[in-house]
Structure 1
């Protein structure tokens, strides 16, 4: 089975050439300020894509999902939305959370320590695919001045208890790419660079449907159609 992963598109989703796959997964910040018109536009775009399933979490820019969750969720009817919650699709278990360490006053910001730890404590151990907007501290989280800004509590929970087959995140545009945390693959799927240009890869994850093992993680040019050999297997 094939997952197509992206994040931090900030309203520029129409400019992306999205590879085909079984499931499209967005790790948050699909809008600029989380306005209802932005959500409706993103929802219509999702509906135009051929992927059988779509999974979305919010990010710190997607304000309406925190300030008026009933309205926001009603506008996003072309995807399954996860917020400290899980779902099983195609035999895989997924869990998603929009929170990130506090930075000024963005949506879903939580103070480092017990406040943000509460959210990570809700995640079941052994989940197949974990989707968080924030990366863990020290992995795919380095900003342009060289500082690591991911979440320490998430890192510790990943190592000691949760141990998913794959963590997909975003939030830190400069941290986009693949990392490894104590044997756990970490994919920062941020699609825009730090200047908000849609030049960073979209990611395709192939998973064996029987063993649930990750077969490959492949970067695709966001401005070019997926090559012929990128069609979903089987």
Structure 2
């Protein structure tokens, strides 16, 4: 639906080549927590959803159903997800609630000491009580070889490493991918950076349909992706298009943009322009959550989601 001309290249810094997005529709969202630091003046948010989705805390988790027909039923299975991202060597300072699945969406370490600290991170995760533990890489994990994910899995012996892979946990389909549009050679923390003009076809088009939960490190375009230093949205438009028009997961978890931590709800009926020819009568809701823990001198909290199916 949107062509390569979506991207405009900024070369104001030597070796930078930062991709800027132009002319792409924005996602209209209901912000459930932590209202983002930016909102375009010409975008009017609809009223908040009638149903209470929770606040993502241990005592008041987000409550998400596989489909709306299940709401109110009593014989459902429940999978409790405990989710974080961008801990940057500070995971030991975070309270991690009990649950069924521990999820980390990348940047557990800092790039300068990645090779040493990723093993410390693995040891810490080994002490957690969760039966299932999932990790995808982030741009700071420069010690990982993208060509040999099996070697990364050996290092991360206390968790399941997902690099463009699907895992089934008690009938819940979870897919993880670490890639994001690359920013250029001046950025030292650039692991899993990919050509922005090719990433949709080469990476995102392989995300399977009918999954329950999608994990990426970077955000989709216009979904909690604002960079305050550049006043730009840096999320991936190709990822947004695939997620809302084809993949349609119930939950999409990511991190990377620390300033935009929080949860937002996407609804098809608010996004006819974005979905275009893929719009249909059946309503589609997606819970988007930016899980970035590291907030400068402070740390956020783990996000807890109860998934019913």
Question: Which of 140, 147, 157 is the matching residue for 1:61?
Answer: 140
Q: Show structure 1 runs of 5+ residues with no match.
A: 213-234
Does the 8 A contact of 1:66 with 1:108 survive in 2? no
CA distance in 1, matches of 2:167, 2:150: 19
Question: Which of 138, 147, 165 is the matching residue for 2:222?
Answer: 138
Question: Which of 149, 168, 179 is the matching residue for 2:253?
Answer: 168
> What SS class does the counterpart of residue 103 from structure 1 fall into?
coil
- Map 1:181-220 onto structure 2 (within 5 A): 181-182=266-267, 183-193=285-295, 195=296, 197-208=297-308, 212=309
RMSD of aligned alpha carbons = 1.6
CA distance in 1, matches of 2:211, 2:241: 16
- 1:69 deviates by 4.2
- Of structures 1 and 2, the one with the larger relative CO (CA 8 A, separation 6+) is 2
- Map 1:21-170 onto structure 2 (within 5 A): 21-33=99-111, 35-66=114-145, 69-105=149-185, 106-145=190-229, 146-170=231-255
CA distance in 2, matches of 1:164, 1:85: 15
Aligned to 1:20: 98
Give structure 1 regions of 4+ aligned residues with deviation exceeding 6 angstroms: none
Aligned to 2:74: none
CA distance in 1, matches of 2:122, 2:132: 13
CA distance in 2, matches of 1:46, 1:37: 15
Does the 8 A contact of 2:248 with 2:286 survive in 1? yes
> What SS class does the counterpart of residue 41 from structure 1 fall into?
helix
Once the two structures are superposed, residues 154-205 of structure 1 have per-residue CA deviations (whole angstroms, 9 ceiling, x without a partner) of 0000111000010000011111101233431100101011x3x342231000
Once the two structures are superposed, residues 35-71 of structure 1 have per-residue CA deviations (whole angstroms, 9 ceiling, x without a partner) of 3321110110000111111000001101122366444
> What SS class does the counterpart of residue 66 from structure 1 fall into?
coil
- 1:117 deviates by 3.4
Number of residue pairs matched?
Answer: 207
Q: Show structure 2 runs of 5+ residues with no match.
A: 1-78, 268-284
Aligned to 1:5: 83
User: Which one has the largest radius of gyration?
Assistant: 2
